[in-house]
Amino acid sequence: MKLTKTLLASTALTVAAGAVAADGHMANDMTLVSWGGAYQQSQINAYTDPYTEMNPGVTVTWDESSAEAVAKLRAMNEAGNITWDVVDVVAADALRLCDEGLAMEIDPDEHLAPAPDGTSAEDDFGDLLVGDCFIPQIVYSTTFGYRTDMVPEGVEAPNDICDVFDLETYPGMRSLEKRPINNVEWALLCDGVAKEDVYDVLSTEEGQEQALAKLDTIKDSVIWWSAGADTPQLLADGEVFIGSTYNGRLFSAIEEQGQPIGMMWDAQVFDLDGWIIPEGLSDERLARAMDFIYFATDTQRLADQAKWISYGPARASSAPLVGDHADLGIAMAPHMPTDPNNSKNTFLYNYEFWADYRDDIDAKFQSWLAQ
Amino acid sequence: MALTVQVQSPSMTGFTAPMTAAFSAMFGFVVGNAFGNPWIGLVIGAIVGAGLAFALHALPLKRGQGRLVSIVAFAIVGVVLGGGGGAVAGAIIGAVLTWFVYWLDSGDYRKNVPIYYTAGQTLWHNTFMLICGLIFFFLIAPLIPVMWLSFNAEDFFTFTPEMLAFKAEGYSLKHYRDFLGTDEWMVPLKNSLIIAPIATFLSVSFGTLAAIGLSQSHVPGRQAIMAILISPMIVPLIISATGMFFFYAPLGNWIEANLGLSQAFVGYVKVILAHAALGIPFVIITVTATLVGFDRSLTRAAANMGANPVTTFFRVQMPLILPGVISGGLFAFITSFDEVVVVLFVGSAQQQTLPWQMFTGLREQISPTILAAATILVTISILLLATVELLRRRSERLRGLSPS
């Protein structure tokens, strides 16, 4: 009897304390999920540092789990214990989470800030609003970097995607991502398939075999990477001559670390990264998450992020505000994947195709790898 | 006085020179390999080795002088071949080869074996010593590049040319500043230092009690209980982790909803309980082993003198089984401090521990800060173990238990 009373009393006390602590019905703790590294640092600098300055009571915890966000959110949902408030994922993962009902649907005009000139958020983000749950943040590209000091003498530096497949002119190891996405597209482009036909060809058995056969020609010279940090490390070590990774990682290796690496922008593949809010948050936590998202995706904040990393802001209204690198003082615009000089030949990643064919081609690719 | 036999210097042409040549040929092979031609290196190495043996034998130099001369000579050759790094490698090769020549030539290689040993037995004895040395080398050597690279001035796991040439600009303490100066690492360190000691305390308390209980012959189903308690050690960790995730998640929700505790606090409780469960088997096993040697008549004697079971436990049994309890506690601590799988499942970001941070750090950003963290942890554990050992010896000496 006594025990129950004490329990009840303490419950009442802590509930009361909790209610007082939540200012304006918003939770004071927020767990953000991101990718770690320079990218997460740019988000801290551009989004959470100013946000916590405005809201001194809020503490932000970072979880570097974006790579397995889908699996973890599924498990959390099943266990009924969602510990994340705002999650940074690539657009393809956002679509999957949205389809499975694990991410909350967003109404851009209601939940996101309009541009300073009054343009609605929906128009400002434009085509980048893929799916109903995805809040775009940046445009990044997967592209190639090469060791400038390993280019053979008397040969031009690589400037064509097919140079990756040309072992005679450019001998040496390559590093490619250990999954079919991007690799099979590049392989077909260099096997005589026209850019607009790539996904048509890839949707057939023969097309998939053709892509793998092209990759087979360089298979012995490839190191397969699975984390974005691998290729910069391999390039810095001189273990590979050329390798694919995210353009921001290469920018950091070249400009911030002073490594002898050059960019090869040909046939860079654009992709989107952004936020989702998990389904099933309590009202207080949801209110906090929405408040943060409204702040962190406004025009100025997205432009600010480009001071620390060379990814293009997702809002049209942010592009003119992109300035210089915060520490190095160099202009960031020429390092953006969207800069006209860099985007002479770009490749558009087809979300719908990969949503339909991913499992199938993944399995084929993995068994080809194991051969 | 009886058996001091002066060991004779062995034959130069028949023994010392060929042995040194063979030994030196190995270095020649490695150096030759670095220049793309191992077999020529092997031959040159053999010739240099034999020449060195004759030279050191014939020249009227004292050992120290001879060693110095050849270290300097090899270091100079090293500088010519490979710059600053070559000088260090050359000096090391010179020192090893010179030591080898003197060791053979003076007959020291027989110093530690009985006089009646045959050549084959002597060879085996020295080979055995070499194997023991190699085992230690392979245990310790992987740590050395880790410590070396942690002073890298760049953000990659790369030995830069400046580092290999031992130039100051190739080295920096910036990764240590990153480790000690940022929340990214200090918060996980704090979490580890909260979780591990509490989990250890729970493991030791429950594990010791369980071991004592299970050592009583009248407990029914002893084997079955033992098997269940030890199962976390046997079941693959990923399976325990999955199970714990689905077990603790609703439990945590219930506590949060009904007791009104904060999410962060409940998160710590979940991780601590999970780690305690992982640590208990280690404590049970070590304490059970110590209890085998425990004389039960002591507890009966204590009871006979009017001590209740609790007093008996703390005054009689506990001091005697303390070594087992402490080593079990050490294992439990290391299990929790090193653990990454269960905390990834059960914990949320607020309970990020040091291994979690290292794991994600290695995957997402290959930064030498991880190496700095590893170096600091290794140094701390060496200091801790050395302190414990010194204290143990001191108390033994004070109690007059030590034979010396």
CATH number at residue B220: 1.10.3720.10
Give the C-alpha separation, A291 to A27, whole Å.
11
Predicted confidence at residue B401, as pLDDT, reads 61
Task: Look at residue B303 and tell me whether its pLDDT is greater than 80.
Answer: yes
Which of A28, A42, A83 has the highest number of chain B CBs within 10 A, making it the mutation to test binding with B?
A83
Is residue B7 a part of any domain in this protein? no
Shared domain for B194 and B63, answered yes or no, is no
Give the C-alpha separation, A80 to A344, whole Å.
48
Shared domain for B244 and B340, answered yes or no, is yes
CB spacing of B363 vs A38 below 8 angstroms: no
CB spacing of A33 vs B349 below 8 angstroms: yes
Whole-number CA gyration radius for chain B: 30
Shared domain for B93 and B181, answered yes or no, is no
Report the range of poorest mean pLDDT among A232-246, B82-96, B244-258: B82-96
Predicted confidence at residue B294, as pLDDT, reads 86
Give the confidence band of B3 by pLDDT, cuts at 50, 70, 90: low
Give the C-alpha separation, A28 to A85, whole Å.
11
Query: Closest to A79 (Cβ–Cβ): which among B155, B249, B352?
Result: B249
The answer, for B224 touching chain A at a CB cutoff of 8 Å, is no
- Whose CA is closest to A97, among A275, A233, A350? A275
What is the average pLDDT across B44-66?
86
Shared domain for B204 and B321, answered yes or no, is yes
Task: Look at residue A18 and tell me whether its pLDDT is greater than 60.
Answer: no
Residues B179-200: tens digit of each pLDDT: 998 888 899 999 999 999 999 9
Contact residues, chain B, for A77 at CB < 8 Å:
none
- Whose CA is closest to A130, among A337, A355, A297? A355
| Mean per-residue pLDDT over chain A, rounded | 87
Q: The tokens 């940022």 sit on which residue? A: B182
For B295, the 3-state DSSP assignment is coil
- Whose CA is closest to B119, among B129, B106, B110? B110
Residues of chain A with CATH 3.40.190.10: 2-133+277-321, 149-268+340-370
Shared domain for B68 and B210, answered yes or no, is no
Neighbouring-strand partners of residue A225 = A177
Predicted confidence at residue B119, as pLDDT, reads 83
Residues A87-101: tens digit of each pLDDT: 999 988 898 899 999
Task: Look at residue A252 and tell me whether its pLDDT is greater than 90.
Answer: no
Tell me which of B2 and B164 has the higher pLDDT: B164
Give the confidence band of B402 by pLDDT, cuts at 50, 70, 90: low
The answer, for A280 touching chain B at a CB cutoff of 8 Å, is no
Give the C-alpha separation, B278 to B203, whole Å.
8
Burial class of residue B159, CB neighbours in 10 A (0-12, 13-18, 19+): middle
Tally of CB atoms within 10 A around A316 = 15
Angle separating helix axes B318-338 and B263-292, nearest 10 degrees: 140
- Torsion-angle region of B21 (φ positive above 0: left; ψ -120 to 50: alpha; else: beta): alpha
Predicted confidence at residue B393, as pLDDT, reads 82
Predicted confidence at residue B6, as pLDDT, reads 55
Give the C-alpha separation, B33 to B27, whole Å.
10
Give the C-alpha separation, B347 to B343, whole Å.
5
Task: Look at residue A15 and tell me whether its pLDDT is greater than 50.
Answer: no
Q: The tokens 């670095």 sit on which residue? A: B34
CB spacing of A81 vs B253 below 8 angstroms: yes
What is the average pLDDT across A261-283?
92
- Token pair belonging to B275: 């780690």
CA torsion sign for B251, B255, B258, B262 is: negative
The answer, for B158 touching chain A at a CB cutoff of 8 Å, is yes
Give one DSSP letter per residue of B318-363, joined into a string: HHHHHHHHHHHHHHHHHHHHH--HHHHHH--GGG--HHHHHHHHHH
Cβ pairs bridging A and B (under 8 Å): 88
Beta strand spans in B40-151 (E): none
Which of B363, B369, B370, B371 has the highest number of chain A CBs within 10 A, making it the mutation to test binding with A?
B363
Predicted confidence at residue A27, as pLDDT, reads 87
Contact residues, chain A, for B268 at CB < 8 Å:
none
Residues A53-75: tens digit of each pLDDT: 999 999 999 988 888 888 889 98
| Nearest residue in chain A measured CA to CA from B185 | A62
- Whose CA is closest to B104, among B27, B21, B46? B21
Overall domain count for chain B: 2
Tell me which of B391 and A304 has the higher pLDDT: A304
Instruction: Say what the alpha-carbon torsion angle B128, B133, B139, B143 is, to the nearest 10 degrees.
Output: -160
Task: Look at residue B100 and tell me whether its pLDDT is greater than 50.
Answer: yes
Is residue B225 a part of any domain in this protein? yes
Predicted confidence at residue B87, as pLDDT, reads 86
Is residue B158 a part of any domain in this protein? no
Contact residues, chain B, for A15 at CB < 8 Å:
260
Give the confidence band of A9 by pLDDT, cuts at 50, 70, 90: very low
Give the C-alpha separation, B148 to B142, whole Å.
11
- Token pair belonging to A253: 């290796």
- Token pair belonging to B11: 């034959």
CB spacing of A35 vs B364 below 8 angstroms: yes
Is residue B133 a part of any domain in this protein? no
Compute the C-alpha angle A76/A78/A81, nearest 5°.
40
Is residue B168 a part of any domain in this protein? no
Shared domain for B202 and B312, answered yes or no, is yes
- Whose CA is closest to A95, among A119, A121, A69? A69
| Nearest residue in chain A measured CA to CA from B242 | A75
Instruction: Determine whether domain A149-268+340-370 maps to CATH 1.20.1250.20.
Output: no
- Measure the N-to-C terminal CA separation of chain B; round to a whole number of Å: 25
Whole-number CA gyration radius for chain A: 23
Q: Report percent pLDDT > 90 for chain A.
A: 50
A303 within 8 A of A318, measured Cβ to Cβ: yes
Residues B247-280: tens digit of each pLDDT: 998 888 888 888 888 888 999 999 999 999 999 9
A346 within 8 A of A268, measured Cβ to Cβ: yes
Contact residues, chain A, for B259 at CB < 8 Å:
7, 10-11, 14
Report the range of poorest mean pLDDT among A80-89, A117-126, A197-206, A351-360: A351-360
Q: What is the pTM of this model?
A: 0.76
DSSP structure class, residue A66: G
What is the average pLDDT across A214-228?
91
Q: Report percent pLDDT > 70 for chain A.
A: 94
Query: Closest to A233 (Cβ–Cβ): which among B156, B262, B352?
Result: B156
Predicted confidence at residue B293, as pLDDT, reads 84
Shared domain for B326 and B188, answered yes or no, is yes
> Are β-strands A312-313 and A135-147 bridged in parallel, bridged antiparallel, or unpaired?
antiparallel
CB spacing of A227 vs B157 below 8 angstroms: no
Task: Look at residue B82 and tell me whether its pLDDT is greater than 90.
Answer: no
- Torsion-angle region of B254 (φ positive above 0: left; ψ -120 to 50: alpha; else: beta): alpha
Tell me how close the Cα of B394 comes to any Cα of chain A, in angstroms: 46
CB spacing of A64 vs B348 below 8 angstroms: no
What is the average pLDDT across B275-298?
91
Is residue B375 a part of any domain in this protein? no
Query: Closest to A80 (Cβ–Cβ): which among B158, B250, B366?
Result: B250
Report the range of poorest mean pLDDT among A82-91, A246-255, A335-344: A335-344
Which of B152, B256, B366, B371 has the highest number of chain A CBs within 10 A, making it the mutation to test binding with A?
B366
CATH topology (fold) of A2-133+277-321: D-Maltodextrin-Binding Protein; domain 2 (3.40.190)
Is residue B22 a part of any domain in this protein? yes
Which of A81, A88, A231 has the highest number of chain B CBs within 10 A, making it the mutation to test binding with B?
A81
Give the C-alpha separation, B317 to B295, whole Å.
9
Give the C-alpha separation, A205 to A222, whole Å.
24
* 214-253 of A, contacting B, C-beta below 8 A: 227-230, 232-233, 236-237
A265 within 8 A of A339, measured Cβ to Cβ: no
B208 within 8 A of B279, measured Cβ to Cβ: no
- Token pair belonging to A225: 């990477």
Predicted confidence at residue B8, as pLDDT, reads 65
Burial class of residue B30, CB neighbours in 10 A (0-12, 13-18, 19+): middle
Query: Closest to A37 (Cβ–Cβ): which among B245, B258, B364?
Result: B364
Task: Look at residue B382 and tell me whether its pLDDT is greater than 60.
Answer: yes
Task: Look at residue A364 and tell me whether its pLDDT is greater than 70.
Answer: yes
Give the C-alpha separation, A41 to B183, whole Å.
12
Residue A175 one-letter amino acid = S
DSSP structure class, residue A153: T
Give the C-alpha separation, A226 to A241, whole Å.
18
B173 within 8 A of B150, measured Cβ to Cβ: no
A98 within 8 A of A92, measured Cβ to Cβ: no
Q: Report percent pLDDT > 70 for chain B.
A: 97
Residues B338-366: tens digit of each pLDDT: 899 999 989 888 889 999 988 888 777 77
Task: Look at residue A12 and tell me whether its pLDDT is greater than 60.
Answer: no
Give the C-alpha separation, B208 to A257, whole Å.
53
- Token pair belonging to A294: 């409204």
B299 within 8 A of B258, measured Cβ to Cβ: no
Q: Which of B110, B138, B155 is the last residue of a domain?
A: B110
The answer, for B257 touching chain A at a CB cutoff of 8 Å, is no
Residue B265: domain span: 177-365
Give the C-alpha separation, B354 to B179, whole Å.
11
What is the average pLDDT across A150-174?
91
B308 within 8 A of B187, measured Cβ to Cβ: no
Is residue B290 a part of any domain in this protein? yes
